A and B are shown apart, each in its own frame.
Chain A
Amino acid sequence: MKKTALYPGCSLEGTANAYLASFQKAMSAMGIEIDELADWNCCGATSAHAVDHALYLSLAARNLELAEKQGYEEVLAPCAACYHRLASANAEFVKKDDLLGKVNSESELNYGGSVKVRNVLDLLANVIGSNRISQQVKNPLTGLNAVCYYGCLNTRIPHFKSFDDVAYPMSMDRIVSSLGANALDWGYKTDCCGASLFVTAESTTYRLVSKIIKDAEARGADCIVVACPMCHNNLDTKQADICREYEIKRTIPVLFITQLMGLAFGIDKSELRLADHFVDADKVGPAA
């Protein structure tokens, strides 16, 4: 494995702390160590990239330069928004001549463009691989029906060849299968969850989330597995309200992929921070 730095971003230190905790547990269970990038800064998601493109490129370039300086070949960004920003900037640097030079000189940076950006799914499916994951399984999640929700950002980066199929990715499904669970086929893998509209247009988010939950419910999912803090937030926090409003029969626990791995690896639920979630995830496990 190439030398990789962890870029947690703001959400993994805040709302998605369970993602970070479970990620670290799952990795160390497999004997993989990933250090945090020292002195990282904001990735430029939400507002920066929308209001000032140059600022966002500088923010990304600084993070990537840090990685380069600290001797890393790759940066792992578990948050889909961070991943999207860092990978997009990187792709822009490659695509547009002189852009990197311009950003470097304006921001007094010296990023060489050598760092590869990955997200957790890419790392798990393409670097670590199902074999190594399945070898670590202590409690196979036999009989557990999971739907994998990739969200909109993980596979859709402009000018950047996606690590998986854009519209119907399978990497998370394969990881879930290697944990012994059934990854169900469903059509909402990459549909929009409403993202930050949750704050500004709640009803839109409710409608979008309701479709996702409704279909997952109809397919008999026991849980929804995600790899993005924002997706998790939208699907989990107000799910009970949404189910009531849209007459969905039951709520469905939403877990980070790393939490599901932790369960299969036999890591204690409290360490995986399952209790952090709004929809009760305590019963997720092998079918009785």
Chain B
Amino acid sequence: MIQENTNTDKKLKGSVLVVGAGIAGMQAALDTADAGYKVYLLEQLPSIGGNMARLDKTFPTNDCAMCMISPKLVETGRHLNIEIISYAELLSMEGEPGNFQIKIQKKARYVDEETCNGCGDCERECPVALRDSFNGELSTRPAIYRMYPQAIPNVFTVEKRAFLPPCRGTCPAGVNAQGYIGLISKGMFLEALDLVRERMPFAGACGRICHHPCEAKCNRADIDAAVSVRHLKRFVADYERDLMVKGESIERAPSEKPKPEKNSFEEKIAVIGGGPAGMTCANDLVLKGYPVTVFDSSDKLGGMMRWGIPAYRLPRDFLDHEIDIITKQGIDVELNKTMGKDFTVDSLKKDGYKAVFVATGAQLERRIPLEGSETDGVLYGIPFLREVNEGKEPDVGKRVVVIGGGNVATDVARSAVRLVGDGSVDLFCLESRDEMPAHDWEIKESEEENVVINNSWGPKRVVTKDGKLHGIEFVRCKSVFDGDGKFNPAFDDSDTKLVEADSVILAVGQACDLSFLEDTLELGRGVIKVDRLTLETSAEGVFAGGDNVLGPASLVQATEQGHRGAESIHRYLRGMDLTEDREPVERPKELADIPAHADTKPVARKPVKMSCPTSRTESFEEIETGYTEEEAVAEASRCLNCGACCECFECVRVCKAHAVNHDMKPEEINLDVGAVILTNGYDPFDATLKSEYSFGRAENVVTSIQFERILSASGPYKGHLQRPSDGKTPRKIAWIQCVGSRDAAIGNDYCSSVCCMYATKEAIIAKEHEKAVEPTIFYTDMRAFGKGFEGFYNRGRDVTGIRYVRSQVSSLKENPENGNIIARYVGPEGIVEEEFDIVVLSIGLVSHHATKGLASITGIDCNRFGFAESQPFENVISSKPGIFLSGAMAGPKDIPDTVMESSAAAARCGEFLAPVRGTEVLAKEHPAEKDIAGKEPRIGVFICHCGTNIASVVDVEEVAAYARTLGCVVHAQNTLYTCSQDTQEMIKDLIREKDLNRVIVASCTPRTHEPLFKETMQEAGLNPYMFEMVNIREQCSWVHQGQSSEATAKAKSLIRGGVGKSQLLEPLMLSRVDVTHSALVIGGGIVGLTASLSLARQGYKVFLLERTGELGGNLRHLYKSLEGHDWQAYLKDAIHDAEAHPDIEIILNTELEEISGFVGNFRTVLSGSGREIEHGVVIVATGAEEWQPDKYMFGEDERVITQRQLEEKLEGDFSAKKVVMMQCAGSRCEEREYCSRVCCGEAVKNALDIKEKDPSAEVTVLYRDLRTYSFRELYYRKARELGVRFVHFPDDRYPEITVRDGALNCEVYDDMIGETLTFTPDLMVLSAAMVPIREDNARLGDLLKVPLDKDGFFMEAHVKLQPVDFANAGVFLCGLAHSPKYTEENISQALAAAGRAARILSRDSLQVGGAVASVIEEKCASCLTCIRECAYNAPFINANGKAEIEAAKCQGCGNCAAACPAKAIQLSTFTDSQEAALFKNILNDDSNVEMEVVEGAVG
């Protein structure tokens, strides 16, 4: 059952892959690395920390989760032998146990991990707002983000999506709409305009006349209405022009983007045609550095923008303005030059042009055969518009008929309206209204301007009277398209009508005039034939694009052609491949959908304002008005950011470290490892699946994880308790338990184990935030089963005043009047509807979404809920050798159990890879330390900008100049990021060059960065304790924003203090103490046996002490587990293995007599023999026992027995027909506040056993709360299905057990039905409490100097994160001596203790000293204060009768130094004189005064 390593060949690898870096993964990584293995820690998210990092507090101590996890993050992050591979996924695993080949894909972070300093400058510039999943989507975050401020690795990540946002993906010109809209939303209008111009040089024109296919695809349309993309583009163009008109600056912030030199190439290029295609091409080429000449046959540039679009849509002055901007970049313009007449392709080549782009457009009208069309007064649309746009006012009479249903026709009609005065304009077209090719808005605006639209009429003939135009006859059009969808109009000749008109304008299409080409270029279907990808024509060096290639097309399409042509010409002239990596003309089909994290609340689209239809038709003035700045920002803020990152590249611009790289690609990593620990964790249940609770619809229904964030100081509301809908402080808050747990209907019929406690915790904390809060918890069974949980629950109920209601809420509804939530449930008096301000759903834990994939890659089994399956009795061993499990990956569990399992998995790994321990780990070597004794202090000061974090507030240059004036400072300078790798090198060089013997860094917090700088000191040969850090970020720039001069003065003071202290620093030496590589395990039950075996298998000598004459402890009385596995066989194997192991010495009938020494070097005297043994660690595994009840007729009637006795009976002849079990016999009462944890499972186990033996037997379980947590719930359910009856009784009304007429009588009040039930069982089984062996524990506690809790169990160092450690280093705890637990949990804990112990035993020596406290004996009064204060038992009274501090035990906390009444204790690097110098110098604000140097400064 225990995995032994059979892979004995030399291929065994001394490294371990840990998958998942939450608390489970971090602990497993730390313990494994500390035990001598190289660890790769894989995390799929950008940073480690997992779910625990999102919690506010933790139960049952209400410690701050972040305060606890943060040191773990830092420790993991800087561990020499842990390599974090974050934002990465496991791709494959090959090989065999002991030697796996791993492939990992590291996703593109778009930020270089080595270079990024986590300064956050980028985050402030990013215009994108995505809902922050870390904050439960209650707030937003940018697309470039860090999950949370303390994240490790402390670097940023850009979130991109697989497909382009629809706006950008649909735009033929590829304009980055999401990008410029994002910039507009941040008020960065000019930057937005620059981004538009990268793909659209005519931003203002496009912003006016584009048919905006982007808006048609905008995902926002599915919510309310598309973002007004076109109009926003117009806004930025107008914004710049307005500034220019007013003569204000249009200077942009400096961009990092490289600008090519002008005229860097000499090949001349000719562009024929000054329309959008030609001008775009010319623009691109000029920007690339080519000399370009544009030829146009007209007297002005602009092409169809000028000659085709009426001025009321595109004012001429604006067009001139934009053309001017383009040509001013250095384009030569040749106007009134017509190709074929004034020049030819050949003549251009002769004139030295090396490439030609032909973009002559579609400038001809299409004609149709129509009787009488030659009559005067019959005009054509294109020449008519040209005439109008040239400023002429053609006389069209009073009655105008326009023929055509397209956009040209509406332009013609609307222009005509402006010419006819009070006359009429009628538009006739073949198509029905729905079929008209003109855009809807064109039709609508035409009608507003009194154009009468006549659908389904075809022109039959022009009617003349006296040779002059009289009118036109129409015939009814029955259908325009035939069955195949082809244009093939059918007419009803019987239905005709004559319309009189003064002029008839035919606007039925456009064509290209290519007559000028003669035979130079090959044609096809009325256009120039080109390669669609490259726009190459049949002639060498000649490219063509725009309408003359596409046929009549749009502005955006023409622009695309211009870009494409320019790119081809550049490649052609540079001899590059014309086709490589080119995108086809067709835009991508797959586009991004609405991102899951988008804010989808409806917000009305800002309307586009138009001038009044009656007044506007009086002239050709522009009819549309632009947005104001406020409107533009508001409209831009509606963008859903479908692409996540919008690629505006502002982050690239502002990153001073040049860490952002949008071209980053995913990379593959290959590793060889010996073993794998899977710690993938869990996902919170998706509460939308319980639709009756309105989650996702009613804002004030939140999940428990959201509520954690609401409570958290770093959460969306900065720790202010408020509800999401209106920010009001909630008074009535309800929690609903078992949302997504114990729910067979949704397939989650297990218990999530942690929700009862976290709900209680959240209720307590909420009440601490706001006294007025009235918390209510709706629950099924209150499962407070862990160490200290019952007391916590009692405190919640009795002290905080939480109202616990034993009822399942059936529905939650929002009250539309006030946003309150109405909960419906069954109370004692029937159905109740109660209103709450907020309802918190206590969502369960479900298997992590990645677990399934991991399981299939690694080949491990999962249960039907998707959690990893562990081996019987062995929670940390998977179904596959060499792969270990820990934490919620294998089932829901709390943090202590998770941490315990991680240490256990580390122990199992250590057993598995024992032969290769230490083979792949690194040890840091430093150069010899420089002797600085007797030397004057020479201080180097480095003042950090921290990007802009410090420099934007504090005048860092001034501070550096000031630092140079301070005494002993021989060097002071500014650094952009002091923590960056190159700066570290620079500091090392300066230490050597300037012979520095002290270094001060004024930057951020020592918590994260001090170790790095100390390391640098050592690398340069300086004692690390000669380093001093001054925090001018958290303590200065961050808290004094907007107070630049004061902050600068404060920074100076802080540095002055640092310099003062620095002078008094002394080098501190670390000494080494050898480690005895053996362990003492106290207790020979299964826990002691397990710990002993694990340590022995890891290669260490073990003394196993058992006070009785027999191994096996409590387990000798257990026969099988709830799951049905055989405990006795397991125990037999363990005893056999221990007895057979050469490194385990079993010492029976013996107790510990005396113990001395400290971690690594203990010396123990054994009872009886008086034998002395030496060992490096101690493991306490002394167990507990079953309570022998002194009531409930126990001992008075032999039919009243305990569960343990029942189990014994079930092994023999068992005949009882009626069995009643009573839970909580001796647990959860005044004498023993705690829950004994295992009794509910044991009762269910035995009940099932009885039912299996005899299905007709009646089994009844009387209980207060049935605590079958985790998958044990399934057995509880099975018992109910098999007919075991469960009767709930109130906490304060225990059943009464009596004997009447010789029969056992049990009366119980069933509070579900409100009646008293009477049973007359054959057997009354008491689920008796598990109790500590108090006196023995007290004695051992005294000897080991370790504490007991109030219940008499041993007290670990920290309930949450150090569940098997004592504060006393080197002493560990496991099994029932810690608290009641199931045997398989005890086994894990035993392994955990072995895993933790191995961290010490694996070392050759321990470092002692450094920043520790020491006693000045002369001043010591032997008052014992220090001994009482120390949590680590470091002080003792020495042979001189004075206090002495054991350096090996001292943690440097300073408690003793602060408490010593005689001031006899000094803490190194925080001595009184050093601290005095620090403060004196801070307070001495006359900078010219010589630094005060306290006497005793060493040189």
Contacts and interface: CB of A to CB of B under 8 A. Distances in A.
Given A187-B813, A215-B816, A167 B698 contact: no
B691 A188 contact: no
Nearest to B816: A218
Interface string A159-177: 0000001111000000000
B1211 interface: no
A221 B1420 CA distance: 83
A188 B816 CA distance: 12
Given A188-B813, A218-B816, A167 B692 contact: yes
A167 B691 contact: yes
Given A168-B691, A168-B692, A185-B697, A218 B817 contact: yes
A187 B691 contact: no
Interface string A180-196: 00000111100000000
Given A166-B691, A167-B691, A187 B698 contact: yes
Given A185-B697, A187-B694, A187-B698, A167 B811 contact: yes
Contact of B814 (A165, A166, A187): A187
Contacts of B812: 187
Interface in B803-835: 811-814, 816-817
A282 to B, nearest CB: 26
Interface string A211-237: 000010011000000000000000000
A186 B811 CA distance: 13
A165 B746 CA distance: 12
Which of B690, B691, B698, B816 lies at the interface centre, i.e. has the most chain A CB atoms within 10 A of its CB? B816
Contacts of B692: 167-168
Contacts of B697: 168, 185, 187
A187 B821 CA distance: 10
The number of chain B residues touching the other chain, given as a range, is 10 to 19
A219 B816 contact: yes
A252 B1237 CA distance: 56
Contacts of A187: 694, 697-698, 811-814
Contacts of A186: 816
A166 B812 CA distance: 15
Contacts of B811: 167, 187
A148 B325 CA distance: 56
A215 B820 CA distance: 13
Contacts of B698: 187
B822 to A, nearest CB: 8
A interface, by DSSP: helix, strand, loop or mixed? loop
A72 to B, nearest CB: 32
B217 to A, nearest CB: 17
A168 B694 CA distance: 8
Nearest to A214: B816
A103 to B, nearest CB: 29
Nearest to B691: A168
Contacts of B817: 218
A186 B817 CA distance: 12
Contacts of A218: 816-817
Contacts of A185: 697
Interface in B325-355: none
Contacts of A219: 816
Contacts of B694: 168, 187
Given A167-B811, A187-B694, A218-B817, 12 more contacts: A166-B691, A167-B690, A167-B692, A168-B691, A168-B694, A168-B697, A185-B697, A186-B816, A188-B813, A215-B816, A218-B816, A219-B816
Contacts of A167: 690-692, 811
B941 to A, nearest CB: 61
A166 B745 CA distance: 12
Nearest to A186: B816
A57 B678 CA distance: 53
25 contacts: A165-B691, A166-B691, A167-B690, A167-B691, A167-B692, A167-B811, A168-B691, A168-B692, A168-B694, A168-B697, A185-B697, A186-B816, A187-B694, A187-B697, A187-B698, A187-B811, A187-B812, A187-B813, A187-B814, A188-B813, A215-B813, A215-B816, A218-B816, A218-B817, A219-B816
A168 B690 CA distance: 9
Interface in B508-524: none
B1101 to A, nearest CB: 63
A165 B814 CA distance: 19
Contacts of B814: 187
Nearest to A219: B816
Interface in A3-55: none
Interface in B687-711: 690-692, 694, 697-698
A166 B816 CA distance: 22
Contacts of B813: 187-188, 215
A121 to B, nearest CB: 16
B826 to A, nearest CB: 15
A166 B693 CA distance: 12
Contacts of A165: 691
Contacts of A215: 813, 816
A246 to B, nearest CB: 15
A188 B694 CA distance: 11
Nearest to B688: A168
Which of B691, B698, B812 lies at the interface centre, i.e. has the most chain A CB atoms within 10 A of its CB? B691
Nearest to B813: A187
The 10 A-B residue pairs with the shortest CB-CB distance, nearest first, are A187-B813, A168-B691, A218-B816, A167-B692, A167-B691, A219-B816, A165-B691, A185-B697, A218-B817, A187-B814
Nearest to B224: A182
A37 B691 CA distance: 36
Interface string B1161-1177: 00000000000000000
Which of A166, A168, A188 lies at the interface centre, i.e. has the most chain B CB atoms within 10 A of its CB? A168
Nearest to A217: B816
B956 to A, nearest CB: 53
A187 B812 CA distance: 8
A219 B814 CA distance: 11
B602 to A, nearest CB: 9
A167 B811 CA distance: 9
A219 B816 CA distance: 6
A185 B602 CA distance: 13
A168 B692 CA distance: 7
A218 B815 CA distance: 9
A247 to B, nearest CB: 14
A180 B692 CA distance: 27
Nearest to B810: A167
A244 to B, nearest CB: 20
Nearest to A169: B691
Nearest to A166: B691
B1018 to A, nearest CB: 63
B734 to A, nearest CB: 16
A278 B698 CA distance: 32
Contacts of B690: 167
Nearest to A190: B692
A167 B687 CA distance: 13
A209 to B, nearest CB: 16
Nearest to B814: A187
B584 to A, nearest CB: 29
A219 B813 CA distance: 13
A252 to B, nearest CB: 14
B1052 to A, nearest CB: 58
Interface in B590-605: none
Nearest to B602: A182
A166 B692 CA distance: 9
B817 to A, nearest CB: 6
B833 to A, nearest CB: 9
A185 B814 CA distance: 10
A218 B811 CA distance: 19
A219 B697 CA distance: 13
A287 to B, nearest CB: 14
A215 B812 CA distance: 14
B219 to A, nearest CB: 16
Contacts of A168: 691-692, 694, 697
